[in-house]
Amino acid sequence: MEPEQSKLEFMGRDFLTWLWFKSEERNGAILIPGQGDIEIQFLRRIVLESGQGEYSETVTCSGLHADLSEGKAALRAGKKVREARIKMGVGSDEWEFTFKADGFLFQSVKLPSSFEDEEGEMEKEGRVLDRIGCIEVIMKTMERLFAYFLYLRRSEEWVSREAHRMDTWIAR
C-alpha cells in the first residue's frame, strides 16, 4: 500500500469515527461553522477495522434495531470506523447513504422524499439535473464537515478539549 493511500485511509477513518462521536454529542445536531446545524445519525450498519491486509481485524454491526454498542466496544479495542450507513438532514431535506471512509465514497444514496416519483411533472433532463444538485448538497456538506474536522484536528482545541471529550465518549 502506498503511503499516500494509508494517510487517506487513516484520516478518513479518524474523520468518520469523529463524526459518529459528534452525532451523539448533541443528539444528532452538528454545528458547521458558517452553515449552521445539520442532523447526522448513524443507522443500522457500521464497519470498524484496525490493522492492514492480512493483519486487519473487522467488526460489523448491523440490524434494524442495532444500538451500535458492539461498535463502541470495538472503538475501545482501538478500531476505527471504515464505513457507516448515515442519515443526514439539511434544512427540511433528509438523505440516507453509506459512506466509505477509505476513499471518501458515497454508496446507495437515498434522496429526500421530494425527489421520489416525479414522473410526468418534469422532463427527464430536468429531473436528472435536480437529482445531481441534490447529491451535490450531501457531498458539499460532507466536505464542510471534513474541513471542520481537519481544522479542529490541527488546532490546540483538539489537544485541549475535543480529543478528551471523544475519549470519554468512547469509554462510556
Whether 111 and 139 have beta carbons less than 8 Å apart is answered as: no
Distance between CA atoms of 9 and 11, rounded to whole angstroms? 6
Distance between CA atoms of 13 and 172, rounded to whole angstroms? 20
Distance between CA atoms of 98 and 87, rounded to whole angstroms? 9
**Average pLDDT of 98-127?**
77
Whether 57 and 80 have beta carbons less than 8 Å apart is answered as: no
* 81: enclosing H helix or E strand: strand 80-90
Q: What is the pLDDT of residues 57-101, one digit of tens each?
A: 888 888 765 567 788 889 999 999 999 999 999 988 999 999 999
**What pLDDT is recorded for position 143?**
94
Number of other residues whose CB lies within 10 A of the CB of residue 116: 9
Q: What is the pLDDT of residues 8-67, one digit of tens each?
A: 667 899 999 999 999 999 899 999 988 899 999 998 889 999 877 777 888 888 876 556
**What pLDDT is recorded for position 1?**
47
**What pLDDT is recorded for position 128?**
81
DSSP secondary structure string for all residues of 101-154: TTTTEEEEEE--GGGS--TTTS-HHHHHHHHHHHHHHHHHHHHHHHHHHHHHHT
Q: What is the pLDDT of residues 118-157, one digit of tens each?
A: 555 557 777 788 888 889 999 999 999 999 999 999 999 9
Residue 61, C-beta contacts closer than 8 angstroms, at least 6 positions apart? 45, 46, 47, 48, 68, 70, 71, 74
SS3 (DSSP) at 66: coil
